[in-house]
């Protein structure tokens, strides 16, 4: 694997324009990059911060058709997403698995309504079904979800959907892209668009590590910058219409005891008509999410007071008690780049995606969901190939196995290690050679020192935050523990990347300041 300095040198040496240049290393950009490289186009991806730093590490971690979209009668979206869910499981079984959900019903009418709806959901998935839905008695519902409110409970409906590891999936896409011959680099920002005769011919870029600026030429540029989409569009000399509506969603992470089992809870309609999940994750419980329109994009969005109150009230309603402040291990928020539609509430806005081609030839992909990233990439590259007059090559990603793919994931490996897939053997070698790397980063976190070294050597991790937020999920799982683990991580990472003492101290300080925002502050 090329080191960062080599990649930068390689970029400087390119005399030929790239076939395709992608701005943004989230689900949309990585999906487009893999699609492009799989068709044999020479492809470069630049990410301003880190892969999946934006929305793509802040999802509810569901690979789903979206029961809610079925209720909104967006059958095409549900069908597409269910098909993609099947492809994701098939191509990345180390990162996606089946999860059972129970919808508790507090009236006979809702029991029948959800039972019927979830049967339709299961039928729509056809051969990509994850399992059959079924009615549950009151007793069985309580066995699967012991802590839920009992008053008036009539029974429940069990159905199956997918759970995945969002940030690790992004890293696996980045590595797949590299395996296909693509070039990806993080901490390189697109600062402008280069134009000739009104046509986009590349970008101006800045290495955010050392401030170096350079130009990168390409036959077509793809704007996959998520909530920053409008910023890139406004670098284009032609005027553009507003395309984006941004809404924010917040999650709490609670101890695993809140769910007491391996079954997730799904509330199809909260008091204000949203969907709420409580799902088991790495021995803890994620509860979320909210849907609040916001007027500006942020790399580190913070939970709004009303989001925290909403989650606390609904946890109390469905679990019979409000969690104590100390039980909330982490609070994180993400922002959805939604396709704008006049007058609609963000929770009602479609999760469909949209590919736009500007007069300059800039191709923008926006909207969508993690689950449909592959299809989004396919549609984007179809348009990009037309714009750049590239050789017409059909999509090859439906069956493309992602980096780390393994035939049968081994039994007994914890899910936070399974995410390395076929690389797990190499990770084991690392700690066999240096047994000190087997030590845990923190007694309350499942991660070991070896994951830090691996992230630096093979996954382009550059900062303590890259390691603790996206190569592992320490920050999302337990913010206080992540802060306590950070000084040791910082030393180890500094050693691996041969950083100066001053850089190490500064990076640690930056991480601690960011991490504070994930520690729950009382409402």
Ligand X SMILES: Cc1cc2nc3c(=O)[nH]c(=O)nc-3n(C[C@H](O)[C@H](O)[C@H](O)COP(=O)(O)OP(=O)(O)OC[C@H]3O[C@@H](n4cnc5c(N)ncnc54)[C@H](O)[C@@H]3O)c2cc1C
Residues contributing to the site for ligand X (CB under 6 A): 23-29, 46-49, 53-56, 58-62, 189-190, 224-228, 249, 289, 334-337, 368-371
Helix residue spans in 328-423 (DSSP H): 373-387, 415-418
Q: Length of the chain, please?
A: 523
* CB nearer to ligand X: pick between 185 and 441: 185
Q: What are 482's two structure tokens?
A: 């992540």
Smallest separation (angstroms) from ligand X to the CB of 518: 14
Q: What are the residues whose beta carbons fall under 8 Å from the beta carbon of 279, sequence distance 6 or more?
A: 60, 61, 62, 99, 163, 259, 264, 265, 285, 286
Q: Which lies closer to ligand X via its Cβ, residue 244 or residue 390?
A: 244
Q: How far is the CB of 369 from ligand X (least distance, A)?
A: 4
SS (H, E, C) 427-467: HHHHHHHCHHHHCECCCCCCCEHHHHHHHHHHCCCCCHHHH
Give the pairing of strands 244-255 and 155-164.
unpaired
| Nearest residue (CB) to ligand X, 35 versus 47 | 47
Nearer to ligand X, 46 or 475 (CB): 46
Least Å distance, CB 433 to ligand X, is 34
For residues 264 and 32, give the distance between their C-alpha atoms in angstroms, rounded to a whole number. Answer: 31
CB of 55 to ligand X, least distance (A): 4
Q: Which residue has the tokens 């890139």?
A: 232
- Shortest Å distance, C-beta 240 to ligand X: 16
Least distance to ligand X, CB of residue 370, Å: 3
Compare residues 52 and 485 and give the one whose CB is closer to ligand X: 52
Distance CA 286, CA 229 (A): 29
Q: In angstroms, what is the minimal distance from the CB of 113 to ligand X?
A: 23
| Least distance CB 151 / ligand X (angstroms) | 29
Q: How far is Cα 442 from Cα 127, in angstroms, rounded to an integer?
A: 43
Report in angstroms how near the CB of residue 491 gets to ligand X at its nearest: 27
- Residue that is written with structure tokens 């009668």 in the block: 73
DSSP string, 23-59: E--SHHHHHHHHHHHHTT--EEEEESS-TT-SGGGSS
Q: What is the DSSP string of 193-241?
A: EEEETTEEEEEEEEETTT--EEEEEEEEEEE--GGGHHHHHTTSSS---
Task: Decide: helix, strand or coil at residue 415.
Answer: helix
- β-partners of residue 239 are none
- Closer CB to ligand X, 227 or 358, in the complex: 227
Strand, helix or coil for residue 182: coil
Compare residues 205 and 424 and give the one whose CB is closer to ligand X: 205
Least distance between ligand X and beta carbon 208 (Å)? 9
Smaller CB separation from ligand X, 149 or 194: 194
* Sign of the dihedral defined by the CA atoms of residues 79, 405, 171, 253, in that order: positive
> Scanning the structure block, which residue is given the tokens 């909260």?
270
Phi, psi dihedral angles at 220 (to 5 degrees): -150, 140
147 or 368: whose CB is closer to ligand X? Answer: 368
Name which of 202 and 337 has its Cβ closer to ligand X. Answer: 337
Alpha-carbon span 92 to 9, nearest angstrom? 32
Which lies closer to ligand X via its Cβ, residue 300 or residue 432? 300
What minimum distance in Å lies between the beta carbon of 60 and ligand X?
A: 3
- Per-residue CA distances from 198 to 20, 35, 193 (Å): 18, 27, 11
């Amino acid at each position: 694997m090329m080191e960062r300095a080599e990649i930068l040198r390689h970029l400087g040496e390119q005399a030929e324009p790239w076939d395709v240049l992608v701005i943004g290393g989230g689900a949309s950009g990585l999906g487009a990059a893999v699609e492009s490289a799989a068709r044999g186009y020479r492809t470069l991806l630049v990410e301003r911060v880190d892969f999946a730093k934006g929305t793509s590490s802040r999802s509810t971690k569901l690979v789903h058709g979206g029961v809610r979209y079925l209720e909104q009668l967006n059958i095409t979206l549900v069908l597409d997403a269910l098909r993609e869910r099947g492809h994701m499981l098939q191509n990345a079984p180390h990162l996606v698995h089946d999860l059972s959900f129970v919808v508790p019903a507090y009236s006979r009418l809702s029991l029948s309504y959800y039972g019927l709806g979830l049967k339709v959901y299961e039928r729509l998935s056809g051969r990509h079904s994850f399992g059959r839905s079924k009615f549950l008695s009151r007793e069985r519902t309580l066995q699967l979800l012991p802590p839920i409110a009992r008053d008036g409970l009539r029974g429940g409906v069990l159905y199956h959907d997918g759970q995945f590891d969002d940030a690790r999936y992004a890293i696996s896409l980045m590595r797949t892209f590299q395996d296909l011959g693509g070039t990806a680099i993080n901490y390189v920002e697109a600062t402008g668009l280069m134009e000739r005769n009104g046509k986009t011919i590349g970008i101006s870029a800045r290495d955010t590590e050392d401030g170096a600026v350079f130009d990168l030429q390409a036959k077509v540029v793809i704007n996959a910058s998520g909530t920053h989409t409008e910023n890139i569009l406004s670098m284009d000399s032609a005027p553009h219409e507003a395309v984006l509506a941004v809404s924010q969603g917040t999650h709490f992470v609670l101890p695993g005891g809140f769910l007491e089992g391996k079954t997730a809870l799904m509330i199809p309609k909260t008091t204000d008509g949203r969907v709420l999940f409580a799902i088991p994750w790495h021995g803890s419980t994620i509860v979320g999410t909210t849907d609040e329109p916001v007027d500006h994009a942020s790399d580190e969005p913070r939970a709004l007071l009303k989001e925290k109150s909403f989650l606390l009230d609904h946890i109390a309603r469905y679990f019979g008690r409000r969690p104590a402040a100390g039980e909330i291990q982490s609070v994180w928020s993400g922002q959805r780049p939604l396709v704008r539609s006049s007058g609609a509430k963000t929770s009602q806005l479609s999760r469909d995606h949209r590919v736009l081609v500007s007069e300059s030839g800039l191709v923008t992909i926006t909207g969508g969901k993690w689950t449909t990233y592959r299809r989004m990439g396919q549609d984007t590259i179809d348009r990009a190939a037309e714009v750049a007059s590239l050789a017409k090559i059909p999509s090859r990603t439906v069956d493309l196995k992602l980096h780390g793919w393994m035939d049968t994931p081994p039994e007994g490996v914890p899910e936070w290690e399974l995410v390395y897939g076929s690389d797990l053997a190499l990770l084991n070698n690392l700690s066999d050679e240096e047994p000190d790397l087997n030590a845990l980063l923190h007694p309350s976190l499942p991660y070991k020192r070896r994951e830090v070294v691996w992230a630096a050597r093979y996954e382009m991790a550059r900062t303590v935050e890259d390691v603790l937020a996206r190569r592992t999920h320490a920050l999302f799982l337990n913010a206080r523990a992540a802060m306590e683990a950070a000084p040791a991580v910082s030393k180890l990472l500094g050693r691996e990347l041969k950083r100066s003492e001053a850089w190490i101290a500064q990076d640690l300080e930056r991480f601690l300041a960011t991490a504070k925002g994930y520690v729950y502050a009382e409402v």
